[in-house]
């Protein structure tokens, strides 16, 4: 390709001097021309003998869009110096080609954009809808073209079915073709207009990198325009959006809602999207099969079919339910007549026969929500014994109490409610019915006349037992359905489908827990406006992220109970209200994690739940060392609070029991314990002890360290005093480089690096001394955590301690992050180093959430400190704290959590190392046990801060909480509770791999 030829043409005819590079194009030549000032253009030199009308139509259409909808991201046509939009120019072979220029839009094509969020897909729909609306009055004779990509003419595939040799595939395409033929009368009745007709994933541009929001930056290429019903345009875009999308129905809902927001659709058009999408995919695969026959040596033709086949063959989508979903996403009645049904029910409110034979308006509501209730104790397992007692706190002498509609609950704990392979996968939590709890065998009366649609005994674990669905009709003839679950299955012997039930007739009764699926006696009363796709097996609870659909299919049935909707409809606490409250009443430097913060209300082991019951794998929090909501911790806390909770001024056996337990884990020379409230307070005390013992103040500490939030602790925390707005380093503190053998001065290939890092302490001591300070000591996180999850080379700490002691100082090991078994191989980090500290500081995990810090030191140092004033910390060493701390340490032993940390940590390490080999952006993987770091880097090896933030937020999108650390915040920090299991490890590795692929795909 003679690029110079076309660069010259550009200069001659458009006066643009630019560097050219060739872009892909099936028949035409396309060039990206970058002018000296950086402006980009697309030069299109059409195939020789290309019809002029084809270019003219596109030029006029782009110009039309620009006048009708100037905000749409469609490229402008750049006329030449003479004002002509297209010119005939000879190529280097002397063939005349029609040439034209378009503005080059920013971004990358949608195919390569990631993540493809619902928000982005909604915007794709809105841009396409906007373009459709702008083109509605565009006219050009060329639009009436006769070509295979006009979806209205898709019937051509019927005569090519034999080309598909696989019989199953052939019959699938035949079925689609037959379905399409049935649509033809509907289609031909729809108005036609100019449509883009090829909004495939290479014709949509997306801008925004990493943490920037993604936005649609271009809808390009009008080369396939034609006149057709506008829904064809939408269906064609939809046919690409669904390919290899993990949740194609959600993607379709976002796309259609986006289109509808810009160019409102009719329900009839919405219903056509899915069948037309399938038709378009059928056209694509038949077309490429024919091309493959023509070009047997081009493997690409077959490869490109694969995603379409995967979708057509792989997804079990119910068309009726999908239509309901798409209609709901557009705020339309889910089926024709649904709005009339709701209006009729509303009008009849107050006049329905009482379901339980009595007025329910005074009945109490009882909340079983994630927020208000602790049923079940283990949100991943509902034992029958608990199910039979659910809500017993609302029991009031057999009076009826009601459970909320639209309430997220954790009582649906079985894997059947999960929508993915992991405990932290999406799960259905939101109740779609109203419950009425009443004594066993309470009789029930039909609120209105109906016909038995289903009567069954569902004997599965925690299922319905007896269940009845009635079919009703409004006087206008619109059908709807009501469901009654957890019944005495005796109804199965009496009733059968088709039986008529009169209004007010007693037709069933509540079962007891031996026959109603295992639950405390109640009826689950649900309304549905359609049974499309749910038939007899309605979901009783919905995925919180799909409530736009389920609220519309199964609306609040309160009116049928003669109750106001508000009484029975639950709304979880709005996260935004809490956020605003924090803005109003808390300091601005109290930070929140994640661009979209999470509100967490329940936990269990290494999982947490938000207000909607969405589960998260907690791979970040080290405070719940033995797991969230540990039953033994609950028992100890409750037990001690029942007795008394006082302080260390009085004797209590819990004090010495806790001390004995801690000391059993430490070397013999550490024999005196101080109990305080936090890691900070323990470090603050450590500084006082060091000063009391040495009579000096000077401290040496590694850079980027963190020891707490008080004045003294911050003075030795470079992570804070050197941060933006920090107070700077005090005169009595000297920093030494962190012993980071990945990024620091001495690397892993240097066998003497431990000593070399330790030698950096010499000038620090000298600097303090030269400023007149004696050496009180050295304080370090044994393995620097905020510094980036660093494991110093073995031998570093003993070498440092030797120098510090020689200068008269003492050595403080801050084990807040590393202690108590997290490292797997070691109970404390200093053991790995072969170091012998004078003071060990413990915090966070030792209380498993209860505020607790511990300092342990030598008798000699304690004695020096005892020369001073009395030491007292009101809550430090409270009876409760001592019992909690001891319990945590006992649980670590009893549940072999240190061993678990070793095994799970080793598995994580193997998996993370594999990711390091696979993904260039993983620079280093390091850590020990469940104290792990993954350093993300740019191509040039520098710290990839934005990427790290992106990955952290995307992990959260996939329901995994992890952190980021390091001076440049480019190290992913994995530090889960010690209970994490193989499934959790697998989830972290699989999801992280997917997100890193997402990054490299771009």
Query: Which stretches of the chain bind ligand PLP, using CB under 6 A?
Result: 678-680, 683, 706-708, 781, 785, 814, 816-817, 843-844
Q: Which is nearer to ligand PLP, 488 or 681 (CB)?
A: 681
Q: Which is nearer to ligand PLP, 557 or 787 (CB)?
A: 787
Q: Which is nearer to ligand PLP, 463 or 814 (CB)?
A: 814
C-alpha pair distances (Å), 33 with each of 7, 91, 107, 313, 541: 8, 17, 16, 42, 55
Chain centroid to CA 182: 41
What's the rounded Cα separation, in Å, for the pair 716 and 701?
7
What's the rounded Cα separation, in Å, for the pair 406 and 424?
21
Which one, of 279, 306, 288, lies nearest residue 175 by Cα? 279
Q: Which is nearer to ligand PLP, 489 or 679 (CB)?
A: 679
The answer to whether residues 387 and 518 touch, using CB atoms and an 8 Å cutoff, is yes
Q: Which is nearer to ligand PLP, 193 or 817 (CB)?
A: 817
**In the complex, minimum distance from the CB of residue 609 to ligand PLP, in angstroms, rounded to a whole number:** 24
Q: What is the chain's alpha carbon radius of gyration, rounded to the nearest angstrom?
A: 35
Q: Within 10 Å of residue 170's Cβ, how many Cβ atoms?
A: 15
Q: In sequence order, what are the beta bridge partners of 205?
A: 109, 218
> What contacts 653, CB < 8 A, 6 or more positions away?
none
What's the rounded Cα separation, in Å, for the pair 223 and 51?
12
Q: Give backbone dihedrals phi and psi of 799, rounded to 5 degrees, phi first.
A: -65, -40
Which one, of 819, 864, 867, 870, lies nearest residue 840 by Cα? 819
**In the complex, minimum distance from the CB of residue 792 to ligand PLP, in angstroms, rounded to a whole number:** 14
Ramachandran bin of 49, using left for φ above 0, alpha for ψ from -120 to 50, beta for the remaining angles: left
Q: Which is nearer to ligand PLP, 402 or 816 (CB)?
A: 816
**In the complex, minimum distance from the CB of residue 657 to ligand PLP, in angstroms, rounded to a whole number:** 23
Write down the residue that tokens 């090991």 correspond to.
813
**In the complex, minimum distance from the CB of residue 683 to ligand PLP, in angstroms, rounded to a whole number:** 6
Q: Which is nearer to ligand PLP, 587 or 772 (CB)?
A: 587
**In the complex, minimum distance from the CB of residue 706 to ligand PLP, in angstroms, rounded to a whole number:** 5
What's the rounded Cα separation, in Å, for the pair 503 and 448?
4
Q: Which is nearer to ligand PLP, 519 or 719 (CB)?
A: 719
Per the structure block, which two tokens stand in for 239?
A: 């046919």
The answer to whether residues 436 and 402 touch, using CB atoms and an 8 Å cutoff, is yes
Q: Give backbone dihedrals phi and psi of 670, rounded to 5 degrees, phi first.
A: -95, 105
**In the complex, minimum distance from the CB of residue 815 to ligand PLP, in angstroms, rounded to a whole number:** 8
**In the complex, minimum distance from the CB of residue 843 to ligand PLP, in angstroms, rounded to a whole number:** 4
**In the complex, minimum distance from the CB of residue 774 to ligand PLP, in angstroms, rounded to a whole number:** 24
Q: Which is nearer to ligand PLP, 785 or 979 (CB)?
A: 785
The residue sitting closest to ligand PLP, measured at its beta carbon, is: 679
Q: Which is nearer to ligand PLP, 602 or 844 (CB)?
A: 844
Would you call 159 helix, strand, or coil by DSSP?
helix
Q: Which is nearer to ligand PLP, 408 or 705 (CB)?
A: 705
**In the complex, minimum distance from the CB of residue 718 to ligand PLP, in angstroms, rounded to a whole number:** 13
Would you call 27 helix, strand, or coil by DSSP?
coil
**In the complex, minimum distance from the CB of residue 731 to ligand PLP, in angstroms, rounded to a whole number:** 23
What's the rounded Cα separation, in Å, for the pair 427 and 370?
13
Q: Which is nearer to ligand PLP, 519 or 620 (CB)?
A: 620
**In the complex, minimum distance from the CB of residue 877 to ligand PLP, in angstroms, rounded to a whole number:** 16
Q: Which is nearer to ligand PLP, 818 or 970 (CB)?
A: 818
The answer to whether residues 216 and 119 touch, using CB atoms and an 8 Å cutoff, is no
**In the complex, minimum distance from the CB of residue 853 to ligand PLP, in angstroms, rounded to a whole number:** 6
The answer to whether residues 377 and 634 touch, using CB atoms and an 8 Å cutoff, is no
Q: Give backbone dihedrals phi and psi of 94, rounded to 5 degrees, phi first.
A: 90, 0
**In the complex, minimum distance from the CB of residue 906 to ligand PLP, in angstroms, rounded to a whole number:** 24
Q: Which is nearer to ligand PLP, 333 or 933 (CB)?
A: 933
Chain centroid to CA 65: 37
The answer to whether residues 451 and 469 touch, using CB atoms and an 8 Å cutoff, is no
Q: In sequence order, what are the beta bridge partners of 401?
A: 364, 437
Q: How many contiguous H segments (helices) and E segments (strands) does the chain have?
A: 30, 37
Q: Which is nearer to ligand PLP, 684 or 935 (CB)?
A: 684
The answer to whether residues 647 and 655 touch, using CB atoms and an 8 Å cutoff, is no
What's the rounded Cα separation, in Å, for the pair 964 and 620?
9
Ramachandran bin of 44, using left for φ above 0, alpha for ψ from -120 to 50, beta for the remaining angles: beta
**In the complex, minimum distance from the CB of residue 222 to ligand PLP, in angstroms, rounded to a whole number:** 57
**In the complex, minimum distance from the CB of residue 350 to ligand PLP, in angstroms, rounded to a whole number:** 57
Per the structure block, which two tokens stand in for 819?
A: 């202690």
Q: Which is nearer to ligand PLP, 442 or 678 (CB)?
A: 678
Question: What single string gives the DSSP state of each residue in 506-526?
Answer: EEEEB--TTTSSSPSSEEEEE
Which one, of 619, 659, 605, lies nearest residue 889 by Cα? 659
Question: What single string gives the DSSP state of each residue in 777-806?
Answer: EEEEESS-STTTS--PPTTHHHHHHHHHHH
Q: Which is nearer to ligand PLP, 277 or 685 (CB)?
A: 685
Q: Which is nearer to ligand PLP, 371 or 814 (CB)?
A: 814
Q: In sequence order, what are the beta bridge partners of 528?
A: 481
Burial 315-325 (b: 16+ CB within 10 A, else e): eebeebbbbbb
What's the rounded Cα separation, in Å, for the pair 573 and 552?
22
**In the complex, minimum distance from the CB of residue 816 to ligand PLP, in angstroms, rounded to a whole number:** 4
**In the complex, minimum distance from the CB of residue 875 to ligand PLP, in angstroms, rounded to a whole number:** 13
The answer to whether residues 988 and 617 touch, using CB atoms and an 8 Å cutoff, is yes
**In the complex, minimum distance from the CB of residue 705 to ligand PLP, in angstroms, rounded to a whole number:** 8
């Amino acid at each position: 390709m003679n690029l110079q030829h076309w660069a010259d043409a550009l200069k001659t005819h458009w006066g643009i001097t630019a560097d050219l590079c060739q872009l892909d194009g099936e028949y035409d030549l396309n060039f990206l021309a970058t002018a000296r000032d950086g402006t980009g253009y697309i030069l299109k030199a059409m195939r020789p003998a290309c019809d002029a009308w084809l270019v003219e139509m596109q030029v006029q259409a782009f110009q039309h869009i620009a006048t009708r909808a100037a905000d749409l991201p469609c490229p402008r046509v750049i006329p030449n110096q003479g004002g002509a939009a297209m010119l005939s120019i000879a190529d280097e072979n002397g063939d005349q080609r029609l040439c034209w220029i378009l503005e080059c839009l920013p971004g990358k094509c949608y195919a390569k954009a990631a993540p493809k969020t619902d928000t982005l897909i909604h915007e794709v729909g809105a841009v396409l809808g906007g373009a459709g609306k702008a083109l509605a009055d565009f006219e050009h004779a060329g639009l009436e073209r006769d070509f295979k990509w006009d979806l209205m003419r898709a019937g051509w595939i019927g005569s090519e079915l034999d080309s598909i040799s696989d019989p199953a595939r052939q019959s699938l395409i035949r079925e689609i073709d037959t379905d399409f033929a049935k649509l033809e009368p509907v289609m031909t009745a729809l108005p036609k207009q100019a449509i883009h007709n090829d909004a495939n994933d290479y014709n949509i541009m997306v801008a925004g990198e990493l943490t920037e929001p993604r936005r649609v930056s271009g809808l390009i290429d009008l080369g396939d325009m034609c006149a057709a019903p506008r829904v064809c345009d939408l269906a064609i875009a939809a046919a690409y959006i669904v390919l290899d999308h993990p949740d194609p129905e959600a993607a379709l809902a976002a796309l259609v809602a986006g289109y509808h927001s810009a160019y409102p659709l009719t329900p009839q058009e919405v219903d056509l999207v899915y069948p037309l999408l399938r038709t378009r995919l059928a056209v694509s695969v038949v077309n490429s099969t024919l091309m493959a026959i023509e070009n047997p040596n081009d493997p690409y033709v077959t490869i490109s079919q694969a995603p379409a086949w995967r979708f057509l063959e792989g997804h079990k989508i119910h068309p009726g339910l999908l239509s309901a979903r798409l209609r709901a996403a557009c705020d339309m009645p889910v089926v024709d007549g649904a709005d009339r049904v709701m209006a009729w029910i509303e009008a009849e409110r107050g006049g329905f026969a009482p379901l339980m034979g009595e007025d329910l308006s005074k009945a109490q509501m009882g909340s079983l929500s994630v927020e208000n209730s602790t049923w079940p104790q283990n949100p991943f397992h509902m034992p029958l014994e608990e199910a039979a007692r659910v809500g017993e706190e609302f029991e009031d002498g057999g009076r009826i109490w009601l459970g909320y509609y639209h309430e997220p609950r954790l009582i649906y704990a079985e894997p059947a409610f999960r929508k993915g392979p992991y405990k932290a996968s999406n799960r259905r939590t939101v109740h779609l019915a109203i419950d009425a709890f009443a004594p066993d065998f309470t009789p029930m009366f039909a609120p209105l006349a109906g016909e038995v649609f289903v009567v069954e005994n569902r004997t599965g674990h925690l299922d319905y037992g007896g269940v009845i669905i009635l079919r009703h009709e409004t006087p206008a003839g619109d059908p709807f359905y009501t469901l009654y679950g957890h019944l005495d299955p005796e109804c199965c012997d009496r009733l059968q489908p088709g039986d008529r039930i009169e209004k007010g007739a007693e037709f069933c009764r509540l079962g007891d827990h031996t026959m109603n699926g295992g639950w405390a006696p109640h009826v689950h009363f649900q309304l549905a406006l359609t049974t499309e796709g749910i038939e007899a097996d309605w979901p009783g609870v919905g995925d919180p992220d799909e409530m736009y659909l389920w609220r519309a299919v199964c609306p609040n049935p309160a009116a049928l109970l003669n109750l106001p909707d508000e009484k029975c409809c639950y709304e979880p606490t709005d996260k935004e209200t809490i956020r605003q409250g924090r803005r109003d009443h808390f300091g601005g430097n109290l930070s929140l994690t994640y661009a979209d913060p999470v509100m967490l209300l329940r936990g269990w082991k290494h999982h947490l739940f938000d207000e909607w019951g969405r589960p998260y794998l907690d791979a970040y929090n080290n405070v719940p060392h033995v797991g969230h909501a540990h039953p033994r911790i609950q028992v100890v806390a409750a037990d001690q609070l029942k007795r008394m909770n006082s302080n260390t001024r009085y004797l209590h056996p819990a004090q010495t029991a806790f001390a004995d337990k801690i000391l059993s884990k430490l070397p013999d020379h550490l024999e005196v314990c101080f109990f305080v409230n936090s890691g900070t307070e323990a470090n603050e005390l450590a500084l006082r002890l060091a000063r009391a013992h040495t009579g000096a103040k000077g401290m040496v500490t590694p850079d980027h360290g963190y020891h707490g939030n008080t004045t003294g602790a911050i003075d030795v925390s470079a992570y804070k005093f050197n941060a933006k707005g920090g107070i700077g380093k005090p005169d009595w503190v000297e920093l030494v480089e962190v012993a980071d053998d990945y990024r620091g001065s001495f690397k892993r290939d240097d066998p003497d690096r431990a000593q070399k890092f330790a030698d950096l302490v010499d000038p620090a001591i000298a600097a303090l001394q030269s400023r007149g300070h004696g050496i009180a000591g050295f304080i370090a996180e044994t393995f620097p955590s905020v510094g980036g999850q660093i494991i110093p080379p073995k031998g570093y700490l003993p070498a440092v301690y030797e120098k510090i002691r020689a200068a008269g100082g003492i050595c403080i090991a801050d084990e807040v992050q590393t202690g108590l078994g997290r490292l797997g191989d070691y109970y404390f980090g200093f053991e790995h180093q072969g170091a012998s500290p004078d003071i060990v500081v413990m915090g966070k995990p030792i209380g498993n959430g209860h505020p607790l810090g511990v300092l342990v030191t030598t008798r000699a140092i304690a004695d020096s400190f005892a020369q001073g004033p009395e030491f007292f910390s009101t809550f430090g060493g409270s009876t409760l704290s001592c019992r909690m701390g001891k319990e945590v340490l006992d649980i670590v032993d009893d549940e072999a959590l240190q061993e678990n940390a070793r095994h799970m940590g080793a598995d994580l390490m193997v998996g993370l190392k594999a990711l390091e080999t696979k993904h260039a952006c993983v620079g280093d993987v390091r850590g020990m046990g469940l104290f792990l770091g993954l350093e993300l880097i740019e191509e040039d090896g520098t710290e990839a801060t934005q990427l790290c933030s992106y990955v952290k937020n995307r992990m959260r999108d996939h329901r995994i909480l992890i952190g980021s650390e390091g001076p440049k915040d480019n190290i992913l920090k994995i530090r889960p509770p010690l209970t994490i299991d193989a499934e959790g490890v697998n989830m972290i590795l699989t999801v992280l791999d997917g997100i890193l692929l997402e990054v490299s795909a771009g």
